[in-house]
Amino acid sequence: MSFIRTLALTILLGLLLQLVLPWWGIALAGAIAGAIGTRNLLSAFLAGLLGAALLWGGYAAYLNDLNQGLLAEKMGILLKGVGANGMLILTAIVGGIYGGLGALLGCWARRLLRPGKA
């Protein structure tokens, strides 16, 4: 359950933090979720990665749908021809990496600071 909890926390905190912080708010959201969620490093990383990827990819997909794919198509050409869908996948991956790294570091920091409870 703590995997799901960490994942949900990443999404929820990400949503809140990104309203006030620049883009790296997603890494911070992962870090906080990792620090108060699962105690397993791998599970924290994966939960942060998946949560952030869902948040970035999902929101981008929503905006893309309203835009009928117009801009993603052009940005896909600009970024080495990855295509419109490629832009969505790239967005999810990049968001996921920052969220996942954040969660890993958050979880890890807590384990280092409070080793007794590991």
Which residues of this protein are in contact with another protein, per CB under 8 A? 18-19, 22-27, 56, 59-60, 63-64, 66-68, 70-72, 74-75, 77-79, 87, 90-91, 94-95, 97-98, 101-102, 104-105, 108-109, 112
- Site of tokens 């749908």: 65
Which of residues 1 and 84 has its CB atom nearest to another protein in the complex? Answer: 84
- Coil, helix or strand at residue 40: coil
The residue among 37 and 96 lying less far from another protein, judged by its C-beta, is: 96
Cα atoms in the Cβ-side hemisphere of radius 13 Å centred on 74: 5
Residue 3 Cβ vs another protein, minimum distance, rounded to whole Å:
20
Specify the residue, 1 or 71, whose C-beta has the smaller distance to another protein. Answer: 71
- Report in angstroms how near the CB of residue 1 gets to another protein at its nearest: 26
User: 41, 45, 53: which is closest to 14 by C-alpha?
Assistant: 53
Residue 97 and residue 23: Cα distance in Å, rounded?
13
User: For residue 15, which amino acid is it?
Assistant: L
